[in-house]
Structure 1
Amino acid sequence: MNAVLIGFGYWGPNIARNLNVSKDFNLYGICDVDEKKLAKAKNLYGDKVKYYTDYKDVIADAAVDMCAVALRNEIGQIVAREVLKAKKHLFMEKPMATKLEDAKLLKRLAEENGVLIHIDHILVYHPIIRKIKEIIDSGELGELIFFESNRANLGPHIKNDMNAMWDLAVHDLAILDYLCNGKHARDVECMGVKKFGDQEVLTYLTIQYSNFIAMLKSSWISPLKERTIIISGTHKMIVFDDLKESEKLMIYDKGVEINKELFSEYGKYEAKVRMGDLYVPNIEREDSLLNSLTHFAECIRENKQSISGPDQGIRVLEILEKADCSLNKNEVKA
């Protein structure tokens, strides 16, 4: 399938590189209005791909099957709509939109034109996240009790067009949605602090589901870089630290057991902590972005919706919009 990358900026070169090595897609072209960026692309790919300065020329090219859009959201939305209207499959960067109504419009356009949308919620395609999903689905973890993510750093950028939650928590919301099979949130609360601009540089997002709770921390003002996820079940517990060179995933055979016999004379029962073994599975390294593209190609061939398709994108946005409302109500100024 012939694919064209629209936007050779921050993340675009990574998409182009993976399209170039993909067994499913042919890197047919690269589009950018900036001639300097196109010159960089030409140095890498030479004459074997086509180069465009206007995205309209891309969508008018009948040879193009799929467009990968890697642009700022306000521009990306316009381009994405035109791609779908031209009946070309769409690979787009996260978030799907900054407004729920825009995301729903993209979904409708895809359905009307018989094409598919894939949002690059890249961590859904991380081999360790896939392993965690396998563990949860097998029942090994037991019933889910809580999900906690910490995504923090000092910067590297303090953005003016979005807050830390929209920049960072999107990753973990997509992971959470994937792990719990798209379960809808029952209640959403968020608190944050603004400093160095008009956007929150630190947010704490709490989500209540019907049978478990999730807490997501997103920070641009931490002296320590963190990329951790902790998941607790009734049988076992999981820690995923993506910054470790090895032993990124640790499975703890730990938990709590209720002993109704103890202290029975007081009419009480005691919770007993169970300490078991630590297991570190060996998981081969994979390129999550290449996995993402491979999954999308499979969806196109089989005409099925992507795991990170518009439905997941909309569910993530529903939480973010509710969180924004909560932030406005609970605003703290440092």
Structure 2
Amino acid sequence: MSYKILVTGGAGYLGSTLVPDLLAAGHQVTVVDNFMYRQASLNQVCHYPNFSVVKGDIRVESVMAPLLKEADIIIPLAALVGAPLCNQDPVGATTINHDAIAMMLKLLSKQQWVLMPTTNSAYGTGDENNFCTEESPLRPISRYAIEKVAVEKELMAFENAISFRLATVFGMSARMRTDLLVNDFTYRAVNDRFVVLFESYFKRNYVHVRDVSRVFQHGIANFDRMKGQIYNVGLSDANVSKKELCETIQKQVPDFVFIDAPVGKDPDQRNYIVSNEKIEATGFQTSVSLEAGIAELIKGYTMIKNSLYGNV
């Protein structure tokens, strides 16, 4: 079935992978983005007659109201993503990551669907075994995580919504981000041949950007039985520490060197093992392994060698 889908921030890291997939599946897609990174990541989909693009700010009601009115499904990707960027622009972090979503929810009818990415960074250190399910208490520390927790609560009060708590995303995308952990460490392995680790024993979960696109499509196809729920989304075999991640990269970049140092601190103190059983019980399975994503990144970094592609 074909839907009218509004994707905010659709030219970003997630959107520039998701939007082409939605168009290829036959949906009518409208993207609203402020193009703050001057990206041209959706050039390849302009030939689709069912693709529309609006340059605008999601915080402006006069921009959003007519776009929301026409949509069957809303996928709000627009955000200042990550603790460093939110610390750089705390006002923007609140107005974009929270206030704009709250405004959007007030403008929607009960018949419209919302599928939104949130984050599992708010789990902090989990329980005594660092194990987290969707029922685990949230301990957000950074402004980014705090705003995401607040907006998820409001999202779940909306009748037709799904929250995908994404693991740390990795992989090549048309609007690349080199500052995400797997992407960053692989970049350093390819270009610098070394990295200095802090809190190297901290574990977290990972998911490939193409699997993020797939889970949104899965949510659309199975919306009636998944709505009103929160789902962790990640690779169940990739709950690994920073050191284990480096060891995995080293298998493909043998001269990569990594050392521990007693400096640095994760702003969200992310150290957890995440269960993805709930999303897997709906029939969803990830398709891109950590190793395959690293191999893809190594090829991509043959073409990219600068810092233009990070958020900070």
Question: TM-score with structure 2 length normalisation?
Answer: 0.42
Question: TM-score with structure 1 length normalisation?
Answer: 0.40
- Between structures 1 and 2, the one with greater strand share: 1
